[in-house]
Amino acid sequence: MRTIWNGSISFGLVNIPIGLALATQRDDVSFRTLHRECGTPIKQKRWCPFHEREVEADELVKGWEVAKGEFVMVEESDLESVALRRSQSIDILRFVKLEDVDPVYFDRTYYLAPAAADAQRRPYVLLLRAMQESGMAAVGKFVLWGKENLCLIRPQGDTLAMETLFYFDDVRSTSEIREQVEATEVKKAELALAAQVIDSLAGDWVPEDFENEYRRDLKAMLDAKLAGQEITRPEPTPETPVVDLMEALRRSVEDVQGRRAAGGTKKTSGAKRKTAAARKAS
């Protein structure tokens, strides 16, 4: 597995050599902006509206906006005065119960790859097994590309995964939402119908079951254009007005039950989940 950063996990007097590898990679379609007349890609220019001219890279400086239109210029030497020391270690600060960490703090997932040598790999496996048995995860800090990152190391099957975390100050407060929720009551009959909707859609978590349909259709449309086919815009699907919440819930239950009877929706079995997991592991 290709790694983008190599270092070690450090806790107490233990150092575990690891490599950092990206766990996810989007396959979205990207576009360039073209001049419609000739099909040439448009170039972005660094333009100063005050001097009304294009500026070179060596004329640029960072600016911190302290008020609307008012900036403090920040030189590279200023940033160097608070630069983090280069480190190749993920320092574990605390072990916490994995279930206590709200996923809202998760930023990006990485895999931690063990060292190739058996003697260096054993501490990796030891930490993995200990965390699996205890249900604990490790909160730590490390420096990547000049920035300090908070992270969470956790078991993912027979792999150690690492989530970069948002700091507490980065996560927006939900107090306004909580006040609105606490001030709103629901009826028992509505709650019972909502439970039916949930039960009718319940199933196992199998990632392969969920497809990015927009990406699929977008690629198909682009392939059709490349082949010279004419693209027609589909007719909009009319929305059926919903009378009230109870009626919406009843229709939801009937819709799911109807699709399930027709074979369109069904609960995923445990056997299918194990088969899917085995395919991914292979």
Domain ranges in the chain are: 5-26+83-170, 186-232+243-281
Whether residue 29 is predicted with pLDDT greater than 50 in this model: the reply is yes
For the stretch 258-261, contacts whose Cβ atoms lie closer than 8 Å and that sit 24 or more positions apart, written own/partner, are 260/200
Mean pLDDT, residues 229-239 taken together: 81
CA dihedral 138→135→15→157, nearest 10 degrees, is -110
- Which one has a higher pLDDT value, 95 or 117? 95
Return the pLDDT at 271.
47
Question: Which of these ranges, 13-22, 44-53, 104-113, 230-239, has the smallest mean pLDDT?
Answer: 230-239
- Which one has a higher pLDDT value, 219 or 120? 219
Return the pLDDT at 156.
94
Q: What would you report as the CA-atom Rg of the chain, rounded to the nearest whole angstrom?
A: 26
Return the pLDDT at 12.
72
Average pLDDT, the chain: 86
Q: Cα–Cα distance between 17 and 124 in angstroms, integer? A: 8
Residues 6 or more apart whose CB falls under 8 angstroms from that of 115 comprise 17, 18, 19, 121, 124
Q: What's 5-26+83-170's CATH class?
A: mainly beta
Return the pLDDT at 71.
93
Whether residue 269 is predicted with pLDDT greater than 80 in this model: the reply is no
Q: Cα–Cα distance between 63 and 75 in angstroms, integer? A: 9
For the stretch 71-80, contacts whose Cβ atoms lie closer than 8 Å and that sit 24 or more positions apart, written own/partner, are none
Q: How confident is the model at residue 282 (pLDDT cuts 50, 70, 90)?
A: very low
User: Per residue in 175-216, pLDDT tens?
Assistant: 999 999 999 998 898 899 889 888 888 889 898 998 989 899
Closest CA to 159 of 122, 121, 111, 119: 111
Return the pLDDT at 242.
56
- Can you count the helices (H) and strands (E) in the chain? 7, 11
The secondary structure of 201-240, three-state, reads HCCCCCHHHCCCHHHHHHHHHHHHHHCCCCCCCCCCCCCC
Instruction: Tell me how many degrees the CA angle 243-249-251 measures, rounded to the nearest 5.
Output: 75
User: Per residue in 98-115, pLDDT tens?
Assistant: 999 999 999 999 999 998
What's 31's DSSP letter? -
